[in-house]
Copies of this chain bind each other. A is one copy, B any other.
Amino acid sequence: MTGPRAAQRDLTRNQLLVLSALADAGGPLSAYTILDRLRGDGFRAPLQVYRALDKLCDYGLVHRLESLNAFVACRHPGGQSHHAVAFAICEACGTVAEFADDTTMRRLGAWGSRHDFRIGKATIELKGLCGFCAVN
């Protein structure tokens, strides 16, 4: 067992702490916010956080939100397609909804095929207003 999936059971202390911080937050956190929250657990340098985040992203347990320079715990861990996920980010309240739209993904894959582009990772982030904030 050496694949990425296998490692889910073998998280290191630092990885576990970072993942917990994200899960507890229930929403996106910046690397430096995570660092601050983990100072009590012995974290001192950004690299400790970034290294853990890299692995967690590899393992499919965390997503990076490019448009926010922040990270979220995956809401569908164990789900097959870590690379085929999209996010809806409310600009008013900051909530992030994670979703997978297979049709959209297939559509983008089709574009790739037609244009001879081999897709490694798709970043799809919608910024806007959630139902609650659009009204209030």
Contacts and interface: CB of A to CB of B under 8 A. Distances in A.
B125 A112 contact: no
A101 B108 contact: yes
A112 B127 contact: no
A66 B123 contact: yes
A120 B128 contact: yes
A126 B107 contact: no
A115 B97 contact: yes
A11 interface: no
A111 B101 contact: yes
Interface in A119-136: 119-131, 134
A115 B103 CA distance: 16
Interface in A18-35: none
Nearest to A125: B123
Nearest to A83: B127
A72 B119 CA distance: 20
Contact of A124 (B97, B108, B112, B134): B108
Given A88-B115, A91-B120, A104-B108, 20 more contacts: A66-B67, A66-B125, A88-B112, A88-B119, A97-B115, A99-B111, A101-B107, A101-B108, A107-B107, A112-B126, A112-B128, A116-B130, A117-B128, A119-B128, A121-B126, A121-B127, A122-B127, A123-B123, A123-B124, A123-B126
